[in-house]
């Protein structure tokens, strides 16, 4: 290997939380932060839902939530869970009886204190979860706070979100149940951040992060990165979902990239590339896009922790490429291949991607 080390894991001091298990996935107490998403299919359509879960799991999603709007959807859960390669969480609103059915097959439940109803209904849900120690996520959303909380605070504030969650935590604890995960989501980044800070100071249950209704892919990604990323930097958060109005596959890709950028986890190689300028004589945009696309086709873990530099010209290109494990730097109409800080050979733009991938498959070693 070269003198340049692989990307180190972050030195972020994570808040110590309790350990629970969502199926086979450990959550809290130092377990890797998990990327979560939610299906967009009709849960009553078993084949479509199972196919989307398979796709999301293949992209690296580790926990998947499905909507359960009615009894027919609840009746589909057993087969969906049987086919799923990752734990499935049932998203329950309004009708607590759907949770009782879901508890028979799912790895966990999400209930919203603003929509689930009276305490006795929550008690019935807990009773159904107890035999399998199923985790219950208390999922508070700014748009669906309980009426008395809305009346007390007038609007969604950090305190109204946190108080709603803590009240539900208290009730579940009184039932002698501790398999709990908590989320307090809002569209506003500052409201969300401060609500999670309040929770983190008050309880040691695992926290699920997210910015709710974040928006379309471009704006929603930026909002989510700022909101979720700022909390992760503070050591807060054990799982999270990037909520985008678009294909859930995008949510998984953004989520994994957030963890990679923060050096909390490494799933594959990191690409360093320049914005280009008038000195560039190759189509760097297309080259980087193709590299990025091809990397998604590699088996998970290939190249994890390695850096790949794809640079456009001779100004910063050679220096960045030398510092990477594998690098390409534009040199006129062709490129120079670097590996472990040393020039290996000159190659044409047309063969660059294939050469780069072949070197990556061999690993960072000479």
Burial profile 59-88: b = 16 or more Cβ within 10 angstroms, e = fewer:
bbbbbbbbbbbeeebbebbeebbeebebbb
Check residue 318 and give its pLDDT.
Answer: 82
Is residue 250 predicted with pLDDT exceeding 90? Answer: yes
Q: Read off the pLDDT of each residue in 209-228 and give the average, rounded to a whole number.
A: 96
Residues 114 and 255 in one domain: yes
Q: Read off the pLDDT of each residue in 224-236 and give the average, rounded to a whole number.
A: 98
Three-class secondary structure of residue 365 per DSSP: coil
Mean pLDDT, the chain, rounded, equals 92
Among 5-14, 125-134, 294-303, the minimum mean pLDDT is found in 5-14
Q: What is the pLDDT of residues 52-88, one digit of tens each?
A: 999 999 999 999 999 999 999 999 999 999 999 999 9
Measured CA to CA, the distance from residue 260 to residue 254 in angstroms comes to 10
Check residue 152 and give its pLDDT.
Answer: 95
Residue 233: C-alpha distances to residues 218, 225, 332 (Å): 22, 11, 41
Check residue 207 and give its pLDDT.
Answer: 98
Residues 39 and 161 in one domain: yes
Q: Read off the pLDDT of each residue in 287-314 and give the average, rounded to a whole number.
A: 86
CB 234 within 8 A of CB 270: no
Residues 314 and 349 in one domain: yes
Q: Read off the pLDDT of each residue in 165-181 and give the average, rounded to a whole number.
A: 98
Q: What is the CATH number of the domain that holds 138?
A: 3.20.20.20
Q: Read off the pLDDT of each residue in 3-21 and give the average, rounded to a whole number.
A: 75
Check residue 363 and give its pLDDT.
Answer: 65
Helix (H) or strand (E) holding 299: none
Measured CA to CA, the distance from residue 358 to residue 298 in angstroms comes to 11
Residue 23: C-alpha distances to residues 135, 300, 350 (Å): 9, 21, 46
Q: Label residue 56 exposed, middle or buried (CB < 10 Å: 0-12, 13-18, 19+).
A: buried
Check residue 5 and give its pLDDT.
Answer: 41
Check residue 13 and give its pLDDT.
Answer: 93
Residue 252: C-alpha distances to residues 65, 223, 274 (Å): 13, 15, 25
Q: Which of 243, 261, 279 is the last residue of a domain?
A: 261
Q: What is the pLDDT of residues 139-164, one digit of tens each?
A: 999 999 999 999 999 889 999 999 99
Q: Which domain holds residue 293?
A: 270-362
How large a percentage of the chain has pLDDT more than 70? Answer: 96
Residue 281: C-alpha distances to residues 166, 303, 319 (Å): 59, 28, 18
Check residue 61 and give its pLDDT.
Answer: 97
Confidence category of residue 287, pLDDT binned at 50, 70, 90: very high
Domain assignment present for 14: no
Q: Give me the residue label for tokens 């044409």.
A: 348
Check residue 276 and give its pLDDT.
Answer: 86
Residues 121 and 179 in one domain: yes
- Count: domains in the chain: 2
Q: What is the 8-class DSSP label of residue 207?
A: B
Confidence category of residue 201, pLDDT binned at 50, 70, 90: very high
Is residue 300 predicted with pLDDT exceeding 90? Answer: no
**Whole-model pTM?**
0.91
Check residue 1 and give its pLDDT.
Answer: 34
Residues 232 and 299 in one domain: no
Residues 66 and 136 in one domain: yes
Q: Give me the residue label for tokens 């733009």.
A: 349
What is the CB neighbour count within 10 angstroms for residue 332?
11
Domain assignment present for 338: yes
Q: Read off the pLDDT of each residue in 241-270 and give the average, rounded to a whole number.
A: 94
Confidence category of residue 7, pLDDT binned at 50, 70, 90: low
Among 190-194, 204-208, 255-259, 297-301, the minimum mean pLDDT is found in 297-301
Domain assignment present for 6: no
Q: Label residue 250 exposed, middle or buried (CB < 10 Å: 0-12, 13-18, 19+).
A: middle
Q: Which of 207, 230, 261 is the last residue of a domain?
A: 261
Burial profile 130-168: b = 16 or more Cβ within 10 angstroms, e = fewer:
eeeebbbbbbbbbebbbeebeeebeebbbebbbbbbbeb
Is residue 364 predicted with pLDDT exceeding 90? Answer: no
Q: What is the pLDDT of residues 322-362, one digit of tens each?
A: 888 998 888 888 899 999 888 899 999 899 999 988 888 87
Sheet holding 326-331, edge to edge: 270-273, 307-311, 326-331, 334-339, 342-348
């Amino acid at each position: 290997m070269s003198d340049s080390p692989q990307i180190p894991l972050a030195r972020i001091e994570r808040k110590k939380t309790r350990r629970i298990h969502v199926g086979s996935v450990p959550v809290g107490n130092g377990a890797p932060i998990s990327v979560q998403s939610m299906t967009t299919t009709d849960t009553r359509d078993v084949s479509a839902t199972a196919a989307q879960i398979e796709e999301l799991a293949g992209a690296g999603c580790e926990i998947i939530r499905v909507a359960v709007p009615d009894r027919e959807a609840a009746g589909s859960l057993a087969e969906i869970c049987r086919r799923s390669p990752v734990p499935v969480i049932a998203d329950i609103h309004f009708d607590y009886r759907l949770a009782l059915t879901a508890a028979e097959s799912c790895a966990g439940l999400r209930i919203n204190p603003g929509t689930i109803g009276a305490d006795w209904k929550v008690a019935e849900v807990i009773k159904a979860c107890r035999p399998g120690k199923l985790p219950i996520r208390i999922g508070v959303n700014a748009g669906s706070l309980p009426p008395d909380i809305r009346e007390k605070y007038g609007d969604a504030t950090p305190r109204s979100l946190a108080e709603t969650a803590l009240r539900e935590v208290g009730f579940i604890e009184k039932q002698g149940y501790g398999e709990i995960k908590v989320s307090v989501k809002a569209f506003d980044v500052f409201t969300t951040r401060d609500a999670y800070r309040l929770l983190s100071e008050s309880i040691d249950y695992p926290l699920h992060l997210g910015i709710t209704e974040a928006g379309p892919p471009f704006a929603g990604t930026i909002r989510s990165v700022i909101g979720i990323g700022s909390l992760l930097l503070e050591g807060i958060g054990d799982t999270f979902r990037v909520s985008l109005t678009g294909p859930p596959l995008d949510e998984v890709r953004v989520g994994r990239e957030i963890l990679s950028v923060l050096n909390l986890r490494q799933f594959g190689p990191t690409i360093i590339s320049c914005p280009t300028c008038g000195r560039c004589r190759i189509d760097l945009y297309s080259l980087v896009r193709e590299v990025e696309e091809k990397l998604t086709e590699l088996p998970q873990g290939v190249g994890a922790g390695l850096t790949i530099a794809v640079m456009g010209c001779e100004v910063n290109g050679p220096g960045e490429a030398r510092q990477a494990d594998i690098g390409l730097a534009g040199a006129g109409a062709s490129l120079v291949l670097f590996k472990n800080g040393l020039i290996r050979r000159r190659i044409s733009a047309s063969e660059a991607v294939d050469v780069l991938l072949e070197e990556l498959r061999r690993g960072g070693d000479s």
